[in-house]
Each structure stands twice: as C-alpha cells, then as structure tokens.
Amino acid sequence: MTAAGPATVPVTAALALGDDALVLSHRLGEWAGHAPVLEEEVALANIALDLLGQARVLLSLAGDEDELAFLREERSFRNLQLVEQPNGDFAHTIARQLYFSTYQHLLHAELAAGDGPFAPLAAKAVKEVAYHRDHAEQWTLRLGDGTETSHERMRRACDALWRFTGELFQPVEGLDVDWADLESRWVESVTRVLGRATLTVPEGPRTGAWSAGAGRQGVHTESFGRMLAEMQHLHRSHPGASW
C-alpha cells in the first residue's frame, strides 16, 4: 500500500464504496431461504459474503465498522440508490446485479491499476466481482432468452432499475477515475449483454427528475429507511454492548 493508514484515506470515498457493498450485501442476504433453486441459495449468499467482506474493510478505513453500519442515520449513508432497491422478483435482483456488478468491476479494475489508497483492496475485490458479473450475465441470458414469461419479467426489471443507473457515474470525491470513460464502457458492456439476452436497452432517462446523484449525498428512497430500521434495531437496543 503506497498510502497506508486511515489518515490518508479519503473518507468520503471509503464510505461511498463501503456503503454500496454493505447495503447490497444486506439486500442479497434477504434472499436466504427464498431462492428459486438450491444452487442460487449458495450463489447469492456467496456474493453477499464477498460484498460484506469488502464493506468491512472499507468502513474500517473510515472508522469503526459497527458504529458506521449500525449507528448512522439514513441521511448519512452514501450508497447508490440502486443497491438499496428492494429485491423484487428474481429478475429484479438479477438486473440490479447486472447493473451494479458491471459498474463495480470496471471501477475496481481502474482503482486496482492505480496507486491510490484503494488499490490493494480493489485488486482483491476485482477478482470477486468478476464472478458476480459473470453470475448476473449468465442469469440475464437465461431469463431474457428463456421463456416468454421470463423475458417479460427481465424486460420489466431492466426498465424499472434503469433510472437508477445514471447515479453510478457521479464523481466520488477522492477517487481518481475518468467517470465519463467508465460510463461509456458500462453502457457498452450492458448493451452487449442485453443484446445477447434478446433484450433491448431501456429507453427511459437514467436519472430521476430531481434526484440525480442523490444517494451519494445521503438522499435515499423510502424502502431504505425500513431496511435500516431492521438492520440496526438489535444493535441500537443494547447501547454499548459487545456481541
């Protein structure tokens, strides 16, 4: 690590990346016991565990991992709105995975190639995320190019989440990334996968009317508050306790 120690780590960026991983891991954890097939119980838990591991490293760079996860209010979380979206049906979960893991893979590959404070973490994460992206891609192909029902469900899911994808490329303070280039490579990659899955790229806008980049500023969607209420309840009920 060229820039060791928490003092030199850009806290905003550690929180942004850490919260993305923490929140998506939580959402995927909600699938436990509900997956459509036993192999997916294993796969979704595996992805959730990778993300939780990344979150723990990143949040620890910004402070105490448990204080940050369990004692912050909703408006202090810096994750993208995309990752907090409810699981929906399996197609929605896969569309969310496709959009996010494609982004995360491109971003971590870039961070790993640089010499910034996130390079060591990104070098490890990029290998994990390559599998997440592959998993999402394979399921996008199966659902898009499966049955009429699955095609329609996958189309609806991709459409519904499309408006949360613009935010992915809002620059994050402390990350030395060419965001416009990242975005064009993301669009290219997602377009290619959707095409192979016989799906078309959604036509709607990629940001909400008033909320572009809002997640990174601590503005979230309604379901996020309930997610946090569940996640934080036990920890907050026993102030100062160790677990």
Partner 1 sequence: MVTAAAQGTARPEADGARNTAGDDSEHQHAFDAAVAADERIEPRDWMPDAYRATLVRQIAQHAHSEIIGMQPEANWITRAPSLRRKAILMAKVQDEAGHGLYLYSAAETLGTGRDELLDKLHSGRQKYSSIFNYPTLTWADVGAIGWLVDGAAITNQVPLCRCSYGPYARAMVRICKEESFHQRQGYELLLALSRGTPEQHAMAQDAVDRWWWPSLMMFGPPDDESQHSAQSMAWKIKRHSNDELRQRFVDICVPQAESLGLTLPDPDLKWNEERGHHDFGRIDWTEFWEVLKGNGPCNEQRLTQRRSAHDEGAWVREAAAAHAARHSGGTEAARHRTTGAERA
Contacting positions for partner 1 (CB under 8 A): 22, 26, 29-30, 32-42, 45-46, 48-49, 52-53, 55-56, 59, 65-66, 69-70, 89-90, 141-143, 145-150, 153, 230-231, 233-235, 238, 240-243
- Closest approach of partner 1 to the CB of residue 243, in Å: 4
Q: How many residues does the chain have?
A: 243
Q: For residues 29 and 213, which CB has a smaller minimum distance to partner 1 in the complex? A: 29
Q: For residues 89 and 183, which CB has a smaller minimum distance to partner 1 in the complex? A: 89
CB under 8 Å to 82, separation ≥6 — which residues? 96, 99, 100, 161, 164, 165, 167, 168, 215
CA distance 93 to 86: 8
Q: For residues 44 and 182, which CB has a smaller minimum distance to partner 1 in the complex? A: 44
Q: Which residue in the block uniquely carries the two structure tokens 């390079």?
A: 119
Residue type for position 138: Q
- Closest approach of partner 1 to the CB of residue 52, in Å: 5
- Closest approach of partner 1 to the CB of residue 159, in Å: 18
Q: For residues 41 and 183, which CB has a smaller minimum distance to partner 1 in the complex? A: 41
- Closest approach of partner 1 to the CB of residue 84, in Å: 13
* Per-residue tokens: 193: 């996968």
Q: For residues 11 and 141, which CB has a smaller minimum distance to partner 1 in the complex? A: 141
- Closest approach of partner 1 to the CB of residue 216, in Å: 22
Q: How far is CA 141 from the centre of its chain?
A: 20
* Per-residue tokens: 172: 């994050």
CA distance 236 to 176: 36
Q: Which residue in the block uniquely carries the two structure tokens 């997956």?
A: 35
